[in-house]
Structure 1
Amino acid sequence: MDQFLKIFVGFDDREALAYHVFCQSIIEQCSAPVNIIPLCLKSLTKIYRESHHDGSNPFIYSRFLVPYLSNFRGTSLFFDGDMIFKTDPYELIPKDIDPNTAVSVAKHHYKTKFKTKYFGNKNEDYPRKNWTSVMIFNNAHPKNQILTPKFIQDQTGKYLHRLSWLEDHEIGELPLEDNWLVNEYAHNNEASLLHYTLGIPCIEGFQNSDHAEEWFDCYRRAMSGYTLGANSNTDSV
């Protein structure tokens, strides 16, 4: 692993607040410095043009650029933006990770309880649903070298999100607590990462979601710094 973690976070203009609250939780929980990189399509236009038109968010395919953006070196993490950390992100890295593992994910096996999610998007069941919402990439793994911008542009969502460039034994397994699906799974105070996969609590209709208060608490802590700064007397500066 590189000296400091590279954490790539999906950025959606419609949910910009989700990104900033998630970053607040990373900063609060990290035991060492991290590099936080937003996956924003506007900043990728020189290397990647989104050719897919079936995504519910703008980073649904660009997430697979993480090994490429990491120069195929070290370990990098990808997260959807609609999450908050409850523990140290460094603890997500398995201590005995197999070098033959190309990517590690929480291997969910569930049927959704809800037919729609944020902004009215369809919420359909499909194999390996939500596996790729949290990924720990072994960037240097030989099988990951195929993940170039052109390759990703040319593949279907089914191929990419089912991790079809890999054999099953090359996909490591994380505890479900490392990608706990709020409202799909029962309330869990032991979850290390809460994933508001149906919609973050500030979106209409999700204010009373399970674990909503934990998200709002993190939001308030982020905003308190802004409020303190805005209200401070800067005349003497």
Structure 2
Amino acid sequence: MNIISIVVGFDQKEAVAYHVFCQSIIEKASLPCEFLPLAENTLSEYKETHKDGSNKFIYSRFLTPYLKKFTGWAIFADGDMICNVDIKELWEKRDPTKAVQVVKHNYKTKRNIKYLGNKNEDYPRKNWSSLILWNCEHPKNRILMPQFIQSQPGSYLHRFSWLDDDEIGELNKDWNWLAIEYPDSESAKLIHYTLGTPCFFEFRDTEMSEKWINQYQKTIEGMEK
């Protein structure tokens, strides 16, 4: 059976975002999905040595091929997203000639501060790594062992510098639509609340926030009955 493997960034500061995102996938999926939360306390073989970053999975995302034992495919996604379509659509875009496939954003941020007062700086290939379709068995990805990731700077990892450019496949922008940074879009397949999930008070009334709030309300409906 074809099972979609999804590794999702998890940070206790916004745990609700993880659950809302997973629910948004489950209720629309036409294939079985397995979810692996990148919770820091579960990664016993990886010790975070980087001192920067606004969330707990900023570097552990690159463990995805390792966690999958360098076999098959997996989707990595930041937890601050919602899915508007059947995730099978993304799964079917797997290209065996590529090591990864990402949305190749090219933008300047509208805000230099994001959620919880974190700095939000511009840099090359910003947000490319927030949604990755991983070819876990690609030979170039075998370098991504815990010790290697611990030793590399963020610029190296988030720019996929262990790969040649032609090994980085491109996905349509609808698969990682940046709320606030991009105009409102009804065609967005994955909405990414990169500046701040509407679970944070200051982002409850921002561009496309109503879509996240509606999904949140659907998620908790069953709990309240």
Q: Considering only aligned residues, what root-mean-square deviation do their CA atoms show, in Å?
A: 1.0
Q: Please tell me whether residue 173 in structure 1 is matched to residue 131 in structure 2.
A: no
Look up the match of 1:3: 2
Q: Please tell me whether residue 121 in structure 1 is matched to residue 118 in structure 2.
A: yes
Question: In the TM superposition, what are the counterparts of 1:37-116 in structure 2 within 5 Å?
Answer: 37-45=36-44, 47-95=45-93, 97-116=94-113
Q: What displacement does 1:107 show? A: 0.1
Which secondary structure does the structure 2 equivalent of 1:29 belong to? Answer: coil
Q: Distance in 1 between matches of 2:96 and 2:133?
A: 12
Look up the match of 2:201: 204
Bigger-Rg structure (1/2): 1
2:114 and 2:120 in contact (8 A); partners too: yes
Report the residue type matching 2:76 in the other structure: F
Q: What displacement does 1:94 show? A: 4.5
Q: What displacement does 1:90 show? A: 1.2
Q: What displacement does 1:3 show? A: 1.9
- Identity percentage over the alignment? 55
Q: Distance in 1 between matches of 2:57 and 2:201?
A: 22
Which secondary structure does the structure 2 equivalent of 1:225 belong to? Answer: helix
Q: What displacement does 1:99 show? A: 1.9
Q: Please tell me whether residue 193 in structure 1 is matched to residue 186 in structure 2.
A: no
Alignment equivalent of 1:157, drawn from 154, 158, 161: 154
Q: Distance in 1 between matches of 2:223 and 2:174?
A: 31
Q: Distance in 2 between matches of 1:219 and 1:100?
A: 37
Which secondary structure does the structure 2 equivalent of 1:52 belong to? Answer: coil
Q: Distance in 2 between matches of 1:92 and 1:80?
A: 15
Q: Distance in 2 between matches of 1:99 and 1:217?
A: 36
Q: Distance in 2 between matches of 1:157 and 1:115?
A: 19
Report the residue type matching 1:53 in the other structure: K
Alignment equivalent of 1:132, drawn from 124, 129, 132: 129
Q: What displacement does 1:29 show? A: 1.4
Q: What displacement does 1:139 show? A: 0.5
Q: If the length of structure 2 is used for normalisation, what is the TM-score?
A: 0.98
Q: If the length of structure 1 is used for normalisation, what is the TM-score?
A: 0.93
Q: Please tell me whether residue 223 in structure 1 is matched to residue 190 in structure 2.
A: no
Look up the match of 1:232: none
Look up the match of 1:234: none
Change (3 A) 1:94 1:167: farther
* Structure 1 residues without counterparts, runs of 5 or longer: 229-237
Q: What displacement does 1:202 show? A: 2.1
Q: Distance in 1 between matches of 2:223 and 2:10?
A: 21
Q: Please tell me whether residue 18 in structure 1 is matched to residue 17 in structure 2.
A: yes
* C-alpha distance after superposition, 1:131-166 (max 9, x if no partner): 000000000100000000111011110100000000
Question: In the TM superposition, what are the counterparts of 1:21-36 in structure 2 within 5 Å?
Answer: 21-36=20-35
Which secondary structure does the structure 1 equivalent of 2:66 belong to? Answer: helix
